[in-house]
Amino acid sequence: AAAAEPRCPSCPAGPERWLLEEVAKKQLLEKLRLRDRPRLAHAVPRAAVTRALRRLQAGGARRSPAGTGGEEEEEEEEQSYEIISFAETDLTSPSSLGLQFQFSQAQDQDLRILQAQLWLYLRVPRSGLTLRIFLASKTGAGAGGNRTLLGERRLSTAGSGWSSVPLLPGLQGFFSGHSRTLRLELDGSDVTAQLNASRSHQPFLVAKVKVREPGHRVAKR
C-alpha cells in the first residue's frame, strides 16, 4: 500500500511527472548541445576516471582567477567546458609513441582553448628524460615527417609519477578546424619504455574550452 502512494501529497505524479522529466531531459541536452544522450561505446576504467578527476581538481585549485575587467565581462557570455580525453596509444617507431584522442566537436562552434595539458605517467631514469610532444599531420607522416612541435619538457627528478606538458598555443589550430581526431606523437630517449599506459594509468589530455555563440557576438556588435 505504501508503494502505491505518491511520495508526497504535493509531488507531481503520473503524466505530469513524465512531462516534467521530459522537459528536464530536453533542457539538459539542449544546453549541452547534444542531439541525444551519449551511448558509451567503451567504458573508461573507474580508476582512470578517479585519477584524472583528482588531477583536474588539483590543477583547478592551483589556477589563478581569469582575466579582469572587460575580458571577464565578455567571458561571462560564453559557456565554458573542461574536457578530459583519454588516449589510445600505438607505437609509431622504437623512440616514438602515438596518442590518439577523439572529440565530439559540434559544427558551427567557435571554440577558444584556454588551457591544454597532457598528463603522462612516466618512470624517469636517473639520467633524466626529455619529452617532446608533436601534433602529427593529417596524413600521419610519423616520426621525422611533417609535424608541429607543441611542447617540450625536461624531467630530471628520478622516479615514477604523473607529469604534465602544456600544449598551448600550438593546439589552438586543431580546435579551430573541423577535425575530430587529434593525434599526438611523443618523442624522447626510449620514451616507450618509460611510459606506463596501463588501463589505470592511461595518458589523458585536459583542456579548458570556451564556446562563443555566434548570436551573442552579432548582438554585441
Partner 1 sequence: SLRCSQNSDLCCRRDFYVDFRDIGWNDWIIKPEGYQINYCVGQCPLHVAGSPGMASSFHTAVFNLVKANNVQASGHSCCVPTRRRPLSVLYFDRNSNIVKTDIPDMIVDSCGCS
Residues forming contacts to partner 1 in the complex (CB under 8 A) are 9-12, 20-21, 23-25, 27-28, 31-32, 34, 37-44, 49, 52-53, 56, 79-86, 101-104
Q: Is 155 left (phi over 0), alpha (psi -120 to 50) or beta?
A: beta
Please name the residue that has the C-alpha cell 598555443.
169
User: Closest CB to partner 1 among 2 and 11?
Assistant: 11
**Which strands, in side-by-side order, build the sheet including 147-155?**
88-93, 96-102, 181-187, 129-136, 147-155
How many Å apart are CA 187 and CA 104, to the nearest integer?
27
**Shortest distance, position 79 Cβ to partner 1, whole Å:** 6
Give me the least distance between CB of 12 and partner 1, in Å please. 7
Q: Is 122 buried (19+), middle (13-18) or exposed (0-12) by CB count in 10 A?
A: buried
- Closest by alpha carbon to 131, among 123, 140, 139? 123
SS3 79: strand
**Considering beta carbons, is residue 141 or 197 the nearer one to partner 1?**
197
**86 vs 175, which CB is nearer to partner 1?**
86
Contact between 131 and 203 (Cβ < 8 Å): no
- Shortest gap between Cβ of 108 and partner 1 (angstroms)? 17
Beta carbon of residue 34, minimum distance to partner 1 (angstroms, whole number)? 8
In the complex with partner 1, the residue whose CB is nearer, 48 or 133, is 48
Nearer to partner 1, 6 or 145 (CB): 6
CB of 180 to partner 1, least distance (A): 8
